[in-house]
Chains A and B, each alone.
Chain A
Amino acid sequence: MTESGPTGFGGTTLAIETSCDDTCAAVVRGRRILSNVISSQRAHERFGGVVPEVASRKHLELAGPVVDAALAEAELTIDEIDRVAVTAGPGLIGALLVGLSTAKGLASRRELPLLPTDHLQGHVAANFLEPEPLDPPFICLVASGGHTLLAGVTDHSGFEVLGETLDDAAGEAIDKGARMLGLGFPGGPALQKLAEDGDPDAFDFPVGMSNGPGLDFSFSGLKTALVYKCRDLGEEGVESNRADLAAAYQAAVVAQLVDRLERALAVGQWEAVALGGGVAANGPLRAAVADLCERQGLRLKLVPMALCTDNAAMIAAASNWSEPLPWPEYLTFDAFATGERA
């Protein structure tokens, strides 16, 4: 059985993903999604951000029901599962360990192969799934509350990091901006809605590192600029300019993402562009990237939202092109947190 050929593993994979605040399980057969269950933890809204301990507690409650739901929706029983894939990192270590322990217990009891999978490879591999799968080579811009990177994808089993954020993630910058403008968490949808009534040119926010030649991102300067702008305007000034501030701030985030993407396209031979991560839901970003692709004659692949945000189908997809760990080799396998792996 070849696992890493061009078509990947064609059997049935049960996948579990718990790296942040979504408890996810999916069943995928080859490139076809049989189920993709995402239980978003609303518990974090009142904290204004993801609280790792709260996330881990929720994962423990939801992991079993989510796996049951994924099997039920796929109309399969556990007997029909060929292997188990699970996010091994990067992410919140306590959260990852809930998913990994669940997966190890589940796989080991049946002596099924286990596929510990990289979360970011998952975001890239979401594009390999039906309908209309996108195969390498392509550039994937992954932007969410936890990560911002440009992935150069030349084969199914890995990617090259062309650029990544040096400080905040794009989604984090959006959430922080939204909070400063009095919006709830997560801030993306609310900021976008508020921005619809605003003028993106009303304020001038810096597009991070726009003069350097690199492909890395930086959002901390933008965030600071908003802090100063709000201070200068005063409480009443902010209140009467909220929509314009939202529009200009969002535009600066989008401009930086699109700028780096455009630079990356200029230095390589790419035929297609894909978007992943929660920020891929952002309307102005989608529009700007679509415009860029049209100008350059590139194929643009936009997966459905359920495959952009964290999900387990993408983990199964990534695992289709990696070598499984046979039982009992994986029994001692451990997770790795963000920043832990060399």
Chain B
Amino acid sequence: MRIIGFDTATDDTVVAALDGDRVAFEFRGSAGDGQRPTHSADLVPAIEEAAAALGGWGEVDRLAVGVGPGTFTGLRIGIATAQGIRLSSPVDIVPVCTLVALALSLDAPADAVRVPVLDARRGEVFLAAYDGSGRELFEPSVGGPADLFGRVASAFSDPFAAGPGALRFRSDLEQAGLDTPGPQPESHRLSGSAICRAARTLPVAPTKEPIEPIYLRAPDAERWIDRRPGAGS
């Protein structure tokens, strides 16, 4: 199977092309420190390169797109691009949870429970747990790092936590007693080929329906309105 996979839910833009087990193309674009992410500028050129690496669009069997959780604007750029490509020419799209792909990107001990952690901003993390094959053990959640790390630590023995959120909340991780690689960013990064690998066994999205993002958080305005007296109907 030939798959193009991409994700824009983290600060990085990752794109890859997989031909069977062979990685034909792998790209990562990152904004400089403190810069706005470059998803919109980086994504489509890299997708075109990925298609070329597989021998052209005619050779592409599937498009795998990371659907979050992550930054709202970022994940929408990836999903909208996938939808645009599908509007142009029919192609199977496989939505992939960004946390699964991150779990499959990690260099973890083979039998360890993998806990991918993303920085959810506002002092919170997105987190889930999977086994080595990507089977979900703890559903994608958002919350305070101390709370979520504590819950994962008590649910599994020796879970292995990594990702941009693990880097950011390293001290909370250590306090909860979770195993985590060193602070080098390379050990915590999402890879485009992991998106492709995850998509090999996941279902294809219905053709005429919008691809559903995994936001995990309601828009702020909705949360405020729900807190008003008499709200909730």
Chain A residues with CB under 8 Å of chain B are 46-47, 51, 53-54, 56-57, 59-65, 67-68, 78, 93-94, 97-110, 328, 331-335
Taken together as a complex, chains A and B put the C-alpha atoms of A107 and B86 apart, in Å, by: 11
Q: How far apart are A16's CB and chain B's nearest CB, in angstroms?
A: 9
Most buried by A among B41, B215, B219: B219
Residues of the B chain whose Cβ atoms lie less than 8 Å from the Cβ of A333: 40-41
CB < 8 Å neighbour of A102 from B81, B219, B221 = B81
CB < 8 Å neighbour of B221 from A53, A60, A68, A93 = A53
Known contacts being A46-B225, A51-B221, is A101 close to B88, with CB within 8 Å?
A: no
Contact (Cβ within 8 A) B76 A94: yes
Contact (Cβ within 8 A) A47 B221: yes
Contact (Cβ within 8 A) B41 A332: yes
Contact (Cβ within 8 A) A109 B84: yes
Taken together as a complex, chains A and B put the C-alpha atoms of A148 and B42 apart, in Å, by: 34
CB < 8 Å neighbour of A328 from B48, B89, B220, B221 = B48
> For chain B, what secondary structure do more than half of its interface residues adopt (helix, strand, loop), or is it mixed?
helix
Contact (Cβ within 8 A) A68 B44: no
Known contacts being A60-B80, A331-B45, is A97 close to B73, with CB within 8 Å?
A: yes
Residues of the A chain whose Cβ atoms lie less than 8 Å from the Cβ of B44: 104-105, 108, 331-332
Q: How many chain B residues have a CB neighbour from A under 8 Å?
A: 34
Taken together as a complex, chains A and B put the C-alpha atoms of A60 and B68 apart, in Å, by: 14
Taken together as a complex, chains A and B put the C-alpha atoms of A265 and B57 apart, in Å, by: 55
CB < 8 Å neighbour of B225 from A47, A56, A60, A105 = A47
Residues of the B chain whose Cβ atoms lie less than 8 Å from the Cβ of A331: 44-45, 48
Taken together as a complex, chains A and B put the C-alpha atoms of A60 and B225 apart, in Å, by: 22
Q: A101-B81, A105-B88 are in contact. List 10 more A-B contacts (CB 8 A).
A: A46-B225, A47-B221, A53-B219, A53-B220, A57-B72, A78-B89, A98-B80, A106-B87, A108-B44, A332-B44
CB of B140 within 8 Å of the partner chain:
no
Chain B window 216-233, contacts with chain A (Cβ cutoff 8 Å), 1 for yes, 0 for no: 000111100100000000
Contact (Cβ within 8 A) B85 A109: yes
CB of B194 within 8 Å of the partner chain:
no
Most buried by A among B72, B88, B89: B88
Could you list some 11 contacts between A and B, CB below 8 A?
Answer: A53-B72, A53-B221, A54-B221, A60-B76, A68-B87, A78-B89, A97-B76, A100-B40, A104-B81, A105-B80, A109-B84
Residues of the A chain whose Cβ atoms lie less than 8 Å from the Cβ of B83: 60, 63-64, 102, 105
Residues of the B chain whose Cβ atoms lie less than 8 Å from the Cβ of A61: 210
Residues of the A chain whose Cβ atoms lie less than 8 Å from the Cβ of B57: 109
Known contacts being A61-B210, A328-B48, is A105 close to B73, with CB within 8 Å?
A: no
Contact (Cβ within 8 A) A56 B76: yes
CB < 8 Å neighbour of A108 from B48, B213, B219 = B48
Contact (Cβ within 8 A) B88 A78: yes
Taken together as a complex, chains A and B put the C-alpha atoms of A97 and B41 apart, in Å, by: 11
CB of B79 within 8 Å of the partner chain:
yes
Contact (Cβ within 8 A) A335 B210: no
Q: Which residue of A lies closest to B75 (CB)?
A: A60
CB < 8 Å neighbour of A64 from B87, B89, B225 = B87
Contact (Cβ within 8 A) A105 B42: no
Contact (Cβ within 8 A) B219 A78: no
CB < 8 Å neighbour of B77 from A68, A78, A97, A108 = A97
Q: How far apart are B132's CB and chain A's nearest CB, in angstroms?
A: 32
CB < 8 Å neighbour of A110 from B88, B210, B219, B220 = B88
Taken together as a complex, chains A and B put the C-alpha atoms of A102 and B44 apart, in Å, by: 11
Contact (Cβ within 8 A) B210 A64: yes
CB of B82 within 8 Å of the partner chain:
yes
Q: How far apart are B206's CB and chain A's nearest CB, in angstroms?
A: 11
Residues of the A chain whose Cβ atoms lie less than 8 Å from the Cβ of B213: 57, 60
Chain B window 18-52, contacts with chain A (Cβ cutoff 8 Å), 1 for yes, 0 for no: 00000000000000000000001111110110000
Contact (Cβ within 8 A) B45 A97: no
Taken together as a complex, chains A and B put the C-alpha atoms of A108 and B40 apart, in Å, by: 13
Taken together as a complex, chains A and B put the C-alpha atoms of A114 and B42 apart, in Å, by: 17
Q: Which residue of A lies closest to B221 (CB)?
A: A51
Known contacts being A53-B221, A60-B76, is A106 close to B88, with CB within 8 Å?
A: yes
Taken together as a complex, chains A and B put the C-alpha atoms of A332 and B213 apart, in Å, by: 24
Q: Which residue of B lies closest to A328 (CB)?
A: B48
Q: How far apart are A66's CB and chain B's nearest CB, in angstroms?
A: 10
Q: Which residue of A lies closest to B217 (CB)?
A: A53
CB of B135 within 8 Å of the partner chain:
no
CB of B208 within 8 Å of the partner chain:
yes
Taken together as a complex, chains A and B put the C-alpha atoms of A108 and B4 apart, in Å, by: 15
Taken together as a complex, chains A and B put the C-alpha atoms of A98 and B76 apart, in Å, by: 6
